[in-house]
Amino acid sequence: MPTTDTTAITEAYREQREREWNAFATSRDPLPDYWAHWDAISFGWRVPVEFIQPLGLESPAAFEALAPLLEKLREMPEVEVAPIPWLHASWVRAGFLMSTDIMWSQVETFYVNAAPRLRRVEPFTVRLEGVSVVDGERLYLGVDDGGSFREARRQAKLGVPKVFEVLKTDPLITPQGDTYMPRVEFGFFTGRGSRESVIEALEPYRNLVLGEVALTHLKLARLPIQPHSHFEDLDVVAEIPMLGAAHRGGYHN
């Protein structure tokens, strides 16, 4: 992995959370209905296949400090709150299961092609901190990875033709490099209620620090988001160990 200034990345993430919060807090628009938006971008509730980090499954205890906020939000009409086992950071959406995008039979090839590249990523630790709102419609917890998921994206792009195709048009990849910032999205606006109520609920938690989680594997999953049940269990279909320099040590399954 190229040498990375992790301090600069941490500060860039903090600044982005602040910009996104300010954009949300100063808007006077009605709260959007995220799931109406999802219906449109998912081609009518098609199931996405994504490279993710299922932090809620791997380290549920890491989210204990978030519990008071989640409890408060569950009582509010403005937000639908995801259960802890569903919480994850998505770092590449490969596409949707449908005949014009991804067939289920292709998914195994994503793992087969990605694994030799993703094993090169060094195991790393993430720090969970900071609450904000992305695209004015989703609440999230910041994930400080020191840029490691950008390296995972780079490696996946080199190994998986479909990921190469997706990232080729990803607006987060600029001439200066990948600007992807990991997030754990935990709340989704319903189109009801008031922006002021959400701001009041979130304000005390904006600088919340949950702590660190050590990661050893990268995951590929199917996210069965349904119109009647938005948070069905994540279907992790493959996991790839991060070996770093040790990937040269021979055969790995």
CB neighbourhood size of 165 (10 A)? 12
Q: How confident is the model at residue 147 (pLDDT cuts 50, 70, 90)?
A: very high
d(CA 181, CA 10): 10
- 252 in any annotated domain: no
Is the pLDDT reported for residue 252 higher than 80?
no
Model pLDDT for residues 92-119, shown as the tens digit of each residue: 999 999 999 999 999 999 999 999 999 9
Average pLDDT (40-50) is 98
Alpha-carbon distance of 44 to 28, in angstroms, equals: 29
Domain count, the chain: 1
The average pLDDT across 65-86 equals 98
Higher-pLDDT residue of 6 and 200 is 200
| Structural domain that includes position 128 | 6-244
User: In this model, does residue 150 exceed pLDDT 60?
Assistant: yes
pLDDT value, residue 1: 43
Confidence of residue 216 (pLDDT cuts 50, 70, 90): very high
Q: Does pLDDT of 225 surpass 80?
A: yes
Residue 253 confidence (pLDDT) above 70: no
Per-residue confidence band for 6, with pLDDT thresholds at 50, 70 and 90: confident
pLDDT-based confidence at residue 2 (cuts at 50, 70, 90): very low
CATH number of the domain residue 225 falls in: 3.90.1140.10
Asked if the model's pLDDT at residue 224 lies above 90, the reply is: yes
Asked, for residue 166, whether it belongs to a domain, the answer is: yes
In a domain, 10, yes or no: yes
Tell me the pTM: 0.93
Q: What is the mean pLDDT of the chain?
A: 95
Instruction: Examine residue 112 and state whether it is found in any structural domain, yes or no.
Output: yes
- In a domain? residue 253: no
Residue 251 lies in a domain: no
- Tokens found for residue 103: 């067939």
Strand blocks (E) in the chain: 48-53, 79-81, 89-96, 124-134, 138-144, 173-174, 177-178, 183-189, 209-215, 217-222, 235-241
Instruction: Let me know if residue 57 belongs to a domain.
Output: yes
- With cut-offs at 50, 70 and 90, classify the pLDDT of residue 245: confident
Residue 250 lies in a domain: no
Please give the backbone phi and psi of residue 106, each rounded to the nearest 5 degrees, phi first. -80, -25
Spatial CA neighbour of 84 closest among 153, 170, 184:
184
How many helices (H) does the chain have, and how many strands (E)?
8, 11
